[in-house]
Amino acid sequence: MRKIKVLWILPGKEKDAGTMVFSRRQISDLKEKGIDGEILYFNTYLNIKSLKNEFSKYKKFINNYSPDIVHSQYGTITSFLGLMFRTCPYVITFQGSDLNKTPSDGIFRDFFGRKLSLFAAKKADKIICVSESLKQRLPDKLQAKAKIIPFGVDFEHFRPSIIFDARNHLAWKANEKVILFNSNNPKVKRLDLAIKIEKIVKKTISNVRLFVLEGKTNPEDIPYYINASNVLLLCSDNEGSPTMIKEAMACNLPIVANDVGDVAERIRDVENCYLVNQDVDEMANAIIQTLNSGKPSNGRELLQFQNLSNKKVASKVKELYEEIIN
């Protein structure tokens, strides 16, 4: 049986290592599973003049490559452009901000981005949503062709290590308490709340520090930051399926988070993790309890039980491709 040929469409630039890192990892895993494929990057910050060039580039790629499946790894304008000139089954993965409201992007871009996502979803043969809450953003008639497949975690890359080894690597102080916060979209992730939470915690634990990941960190270094920290804080307005939560679980890092995306499903029954309201006092108190306990979580064990290794997730996506082809 010949290999399935897939054209993956990603927004952004190929040379930007931080662009769509989870999608890139999944594509790499799919190739290891025997899926053949190529990646085409779309410039999503387009003006009318350059739009013609993107269309031309895509049409040429489709004609030369002749894929069995086109898979857009994001919604909005990326999924809309992916519909053009296609002559084969079409799949979309919705990751969060392509269906969730993101007013921080601007009223125009937010509104029309979601409209383009829904238009593409109607035309797609199959839809992947990374969480149940994201699937519920789709109209009822479209949910029938949607499957929930969160991104997986590489358990070899993300694994527990000795905190002092990680801190030595990062040149962090040995005696401080670090709250790790991912702020690649400060307004949606609510960096303003994280700063307030840090100030409240400092009243009880003076040697605490908030460390903010701003989206420019080398993805290969993320395990060091996780293992060098004492607790992960998430206080977002909305999420799809935050991969940082799963990566922290894989490293047994305690987590304090509010109920967005699939966070409740992920950290339910995980020791030394707290699911609380998006309230600065509640979150600060939960962080204080976590820091005072000094205990790790057992997130890695439960994440494995949830079948969210990158290899198993890649197998699920491969099965979806085979279902489409057959």
**Which CATH number, 3.40.50.2000, 3.40.50.80, 3.40.50.300, 3.90.550.10, labels domain 5-152+309-325?**
3.40.50.2000
pLDDT of residue 19: 76
One CATH from 3.30.9.10, 3.30.420.40, 3.30.70.260, 3.40.50.2000 for 163-305: 3.40.50.2000
Cα–Cα nearest to 96, from 162, 24, 23, 168? 23
For the packed helices 21-32 and 310-325, what is the interaxial angle rounded to 10 degrees?
Answer: 70
**At residue 212, what are phi and psi to the nearest 5 degrees?**
-110, 120
pLDDT at 70: 94
CA distance 18 to 114: 23
- Predicted confidence at residue 235, as pLDDT, reads 97
Q: Which uninterrupted H or E stretch holds 210?
A: strand 208-213
Delimit the CATH 3.40.50.2000 region(s) of the chain: 5-152+309-325, 163-305
0.85 cut: is pTM over it? Answer: yes
Distance (Å, whole) CA 121 – CA 8: 16
Average pLDDT for consecutive 10-residue bins of the chain (326 residues)? 86 75 93 92 70 78 87 90 85 90 72 88 95 93 95 95 94 96 90 97 97 88 97 95 96 97 94 97 98 95 94 96 92
Write down the pLDDT at residue 17. Answer: 65
Listed residue (286, 288, 240, 289) closest to 266, CA to CA: 240
pLDDT, residue 45, reads: 66
Q: Considering just the CA atoms, what is the radius of gyration of the chain in Å?
A: 20
